[in-house]
Structure 1
Amino acid sequence: MKYAVWGLLLLSSLLLLVTVIRNRGAGRLLSALGLNVVVAAFLLYALNLLSAYTQVDLPINTATLGTVTVLGVPGVLLLVGLKLTLL
């Protein structure tokens, strides 16, 4: 099972590399997506640093990072609103 996962990771990485090499637009799309993920992680980290003042702490996991990556600052506000309302 372990070798199957590593093989799948290697194959998908190779196909991603081929796609980026063949299509320049895909490289720009991946770099923009990477930048959005970094900005989203920074926003969540900054919110967690300020949690002593705001009493709101959000975990940095796949779900929160994906939400903030797609929605940006409104995504952070959405997650804070859900945290305050539901929990």
Structure 2
Amino acid sequence: MKSYILWGVLGISTLLLVFTLFRHRFAFHWLGYLCLNVALASFLLYALNLFLPYTNVEVPINATTVGTVSVLGLPGLLMLVALKLWVV
């Protein structure tokens, strides 16, 4: 019973999101901007891990790190590197 309710909420929220996207034409610009930020953040994390033999800093590429870098940008990447060096 609980899973049916969760699937129903997911379906209704998906339909509302699609309705909102088709209703407002600027929503596609926002979605494109979001996708561009996520792709750029993934590329920055990949480039950082590419220089692993030289820097000895490895930041994993997962949803949390990509989200942090996509929202905060380069300062977020530097924050993750500092946390990796200082805490871990």
Secondary structure of 2:54 counterpart = helix
For residue 4 of structure 1, report the CA deviation from its aligned partner.
Answer: 5.5
Partner of 2:65: 64
2:39 maps to amino acid: V
Distance 1:85 1:38 in 2: 27
After TM superposition, the score normalised by the length of structure 1 is 0.85
Greater Rg over alpha carbons, structure? 2
For residue 32 of structure 1, report the CA deviation from its aligned partner.
Answer: 0.3
2:26 maps to amino acid: G
Partner of 1:25: 26
After TM superposition, the score normalised by the length of structure 2 is 0.84
Alignment RMSD: 1.6
Distance 2:53 2:6 in 1: 41
| 1:1-87 mapped onto 2 (5 Å cutoff) | 7-87=8-88
Q: Say how many residue pairs are matched.
A: 87
2:77 maps to amino acid: V
Per-residue CA deviations over 1:59-81 (Å, capped at 9, x if unaligned) read 11121111100011111101001
Structure 2 spans left out of the alignment, 5+ residues: none
% identical aligned pairs: 54
